[in-house]
Structure 1
């Protein structure tokens, strides 16, 4: 009997003020690719209100998952100015990002949330992008190579710019976790390629 490849697992963080298009695109695209997605609230498992007042209820809280975060292959942070601020100020998120980086696991961050990278000293020396509103935070001090590409993949760090790049960003995560063929299979019925 041939051994089956274990299903990849992604942790998507949810917080008040997040950009709902980026969050929902990531959840939808990754689940279409048969990636096991867990939605974790940063503060708790209580409902969060997105930047445009869409209410989303996390499945778990990040604190509840603390001892099991090593089981995930990727962590995804949606953007939005409120989310970027919350992610940047959260010691728990910083610790999580550092653990994923040290383990060589995928970190995917979009829109304003790449500003959490310098806040926690993660991804130093890598090429990144972000929403133009936070570009200066990533350019400051020469700690990152800043790009204005729509999606930037630098090894195990994927960054992207805005809601308009959310599907490309999500497909880049799929490609990284389960391959280009699966990403193409997901994109086709969505009429993306």
Structure 2
């Protein structure tokens, strides 16, 4: 597995993220040596959704108002139904995500996580996957949707569901280790 000792990764999330879709990528990134910060619209802990009820609370390192995308090497977006639906309506969250596209930095999104990316308007011509219910939304945003456990397109890593986490984490770490993708910027 690639080493990320000099990399800093932002995980953008809010209440209602799917627990394993934040905790497992965060653990994989930290085990690879990355410094990981949880970024959220709110300062208080954010609560996970675990299958059919509320799960753990995760401390927020920086609010969106405090965070600067320029300070990070990559962005990770966990899924869950509530989390990305809230983030896509937050103009600061969308702007934060868009900055990673503009700079060609790696972005990883799993399950419903790509909903926030749709709002950036920067998915045209990208190959992606997601939870199947997002297929039409992604295609309407200009992406080509495919049903595979992990898809990588110019530094953008996407996966469908928690079962895909091992493949998602491997590809996310590979892309972050590669760094800036010069053809990734929009």
Bin the TM-score by the shorter chain. Answer: 0.7 to 0.9
**TM-superposition CA deviations, 1:100-139 (whole Å, max 9, x none):** 1111111111101212222221222100100012222112
Contact 2:5 2:34 in 1 (8 A): no
TM-score of the pair, normalised by structure 2: 0.86
Q: 1:59 aligns with which of 58, 61, 70?
A: 61
1:1-193 correspondence to structure 2 within 5 Å: 7-41=6-40, 43-52=41-50, 53-54=54-55, 55-65=57-67, 68-140=68-140, 143-178=142-177
Q: Greater Rg, structure 1 or structure 2?
A: 1
Mapped to 1, the partners of 2:121 and 2:107 lie a distance apart of 13
Mapped to 2, the partners of 1:85 and 1:154 lie a distance apart of 23
Q: Which runs of 4+ in 1 moved over 3 A?
A: none
Q: Structure 1 residues 113, 6: CA separation in 2 closer, same or farther (over 3 Å shift)? A: closer
Question: SS in structure 2 opposite 1:63?
Answer: coil
TM-score of the pair, normalised by structure 1: 0.83
Contact 2:5 2:32 in 1 (8 A): no
More helix per residue = 1
Contact 2:13 2:84 in 1 (8 A): no
Aligned-residue RMSD, C-alpha = 1.7
Q: Structure 1 residues 14, 97: CA separation in 2 closer, same or farther (over 3 Å shift)? A: closer
Contact 1:18 1:51 in 2 (8 A): yes
Residue 6 of structure 1, CA deviation: 7.0
In structure 1, runs of 5+ residues without a counterpart are 180-193
Question: SS in structure 2 opposite 1:124?
Answer: coil
Contact 1:87 1:113 in 2 (8 A): no
Contact 2:13 2:87 in 1 (8 A): no
In structure 2, runs of 5+ residues without a counterpart are 179-186
Question: SS in structure 2 opposite 1:168?
Answer: helix
Contact 2:101 2:122 in 1 (8 A): yes
